Amino acid sequence: AEAPKAGEVTWASVSAIFNTRCMPCHSAASSRGGLNLTSYDLVSQSRVITSGNAKNRILIGSVRSGRMPQGRTPLSDNELRTLEAWINGGLKP
């Protein structure tokens, strides 16, 4: 599959990844580490993401290192590239 491009990825694609890969640990009910990935507002204002700079924040580093998702199958290359493109593209709603 062709890699997603920065600016082309929207919250809908990213939230689908979060919903299937990061829940229930980072939901409203749990929010482990103080991180709730259930809404655009919560994610875009989070300390783990810096708009325009995927390589310099906690989220991508945790996923790339294999620490997250903890105890679950790692994200695919396409899922990771989608997250990075969304962040680098400015967190498009």
Question: How confident is the model over 33-76, as pLDDT tens digits?
Answer: 899 999 999 999 999 999 999 988 899 999 999 899 999 999 99
pLDDT of residue 1: 63
**What's the Cα-to-Cα distance from 9 to each of 24, 31, 72, 90, rounded to whole Å?**
23, 24, 24, 9
The answer to whether 64 and 80 have CB atoms below 8 angstroms apart is yes
In this predicted model, what pLDDT tens digit does every residue of 3-43 receive, in sequence order?
Answer: 788 889 999 999 999 999 999 899 999 999 899 999 999 99
Distance CA 59, CA 63 (A): 6
